[in-house]
């Protein structure tokens, strides 16, 4: 999906979370509750090497825009902004910083995200709509 040079939009509906131990990653109780209970609609827009990833929840909408291979500042799940570089490797979007590692990949009809913050890892799965 992410290998093409076409402009397109894909929407994903959050399905499940595994290994969600966010309190150890320094998140507040309200953020942990929202992360567990809210099922965001994730919209991914691709236009060449530029991506816009938008998360829509009842609590609001936030977007991160990045160009593959270039450093950018993004919002992470704990509400902080960090500088990262996102690369496209083997069909996976891989976002890295010193304390944050996020991999998004398509597995069949699901988008699987593996997120590591401060040595705590969780997996989120969304289905295409």
- pLDDT tens, 20-72? 555 455 555 665 565 666 678 888 898 889 999 998 888 788 899 999 999 99
- pLDDT surpassing 50 at residue 4: no
Instruction: Give this prediction's pTM.
Output: 0.76
User: In this structure, what is the dihedral angle of CA atoms 105, 60, 22, 13, given to the nearest 10 degrees?
Assistant: -30
Tell me the CA distances in angstroms from 94 to 31, 58, 89, one per residue in order.
Answer: 24, 27, 7
Average model confidence (pLDDT) across the chain: 78
What the block records as the tokens of 124 is: 């989120």
- pLDDT surpassing 50 at residue 97: yes
Q: Which helix (H) or strand (E) holds 36?
A: helix 29-37
């Amino acid at each position: 999906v992410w290998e093409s040079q076409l402009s397109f939009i894909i929407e994903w509906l959050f399905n499940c979370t595994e290994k969600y131990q966010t309190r150890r990653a320094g998140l507040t109780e309200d953020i942990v509750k929202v992360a567990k209970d809210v099922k965001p609609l994730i919209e991914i827009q691709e236009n060449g090497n530029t991506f816009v990833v938008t998360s829509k929840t009842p609590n609001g909408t936030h977007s991160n825009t990045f160009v593959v291979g270039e450093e950018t500042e993004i919002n992470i799940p704990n509400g902080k902004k960090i500088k990262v570089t996102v690369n496209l490797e083997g069909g996976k979007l891989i976002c890295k910083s010193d304390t944050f590692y996020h991999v998004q990949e398509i597995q069949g009809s699901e988008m699987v995200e593996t997120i590591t913050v401060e040595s705590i890892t969780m997996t989120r799965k969304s289905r295409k709509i």
